Amino acid sequence: MKQNPQWMWGWILVALGGLFLLQNLGLPLVGWVWGLIFAAGGAIFLGLYQQEHARWWALIPGFTLLGLGILILFEPLLGDNLGGAVFLAAIGLGFLAVYYVRHDFWWAIIPSGTLLSAAVVAGQGNQGNAGGFLFFFGLTLTFAAVYLIGQRWAVFPAGAMLVLALLTTTQTAHTALTYLISLGLVVAGVYLLRRGQTPGKGGTHEHG
């Protein structure tokens, strides 16, 4: 049986309005209060999905708010790197949950994989080229997963991301690629110029 969620939204608005009013009056609100509020908001959205599975969209704000609540509650323990990783991973898990409950929504794998890859990089901190490799390799796995579920076009971005992942491992490889691309453009241009000057190729011909 479907329940009318208006009462729930009403209480949420009243609670948020009251908290903002207290803050504007100068009464301090400790961080854990906001953490509990965001976590409760996430639980409410997940509850909406549980009441009616057609509300798959509620999984995304549900996981996002839960992640934000965890970030605020455990910020002293997590620190900047792990805190950002937890928040990004929570959003990514929200999209992954959408695909889990709706296999026809294959598109959800892409933002999920992107955010989870970014979460891994954020958790590693400043690792130079290693961060770039981890991110692009994560995208490679993401598009590979999309390919494996039947989206054949995904093999092309998967291959491109793998190349970028390998190129970020060394600065020398990146520099070499730059020269190769430049040289390739010059060779292609010369080829087109010679082709245009060759009779019977690439030009327009009159037929008598």
Which residues of the chain register pLDDT less than 70? 1-13, 15-16, 18-19, 22-31, 126-129, 170-181, 195-208
User: What is the structure's pLDDT at 49?
Assistant: 92
**Helical H runs in 25-170?**
31-51, 59-73, 75-101, 109-124, 129-148, 155-167
User: What is the structure's pLDDT at 206?
Assistant: 47
Q: Reduce the secondary structure of 123-147 to three states and give it as a string.
A: HHCCCCHHHHHHHHHHHHHHHHHHH
User: What is the structure's pLDDT at 117?
Assistant: 94
Q: How far apart are CA 37 and CA 152, in angstroms?
A: 43
Report residue 163 CA to chain centroid gap: 20
- Under 8 Å between Cβ of 92 and 111: yes
Six-digit token string for 156: 């092309």
User: What is the structure's pLDDT at 207?
Assistant: 47
User: What is the structure's pLDDT at 204?
Assistant: 47
User: What is the structure's pLDDT at 148?
Assistant: 94
pTM, full prediction: 0.70
Torsion of CA 124, 129, 132, 134, to 10 degrees: -50
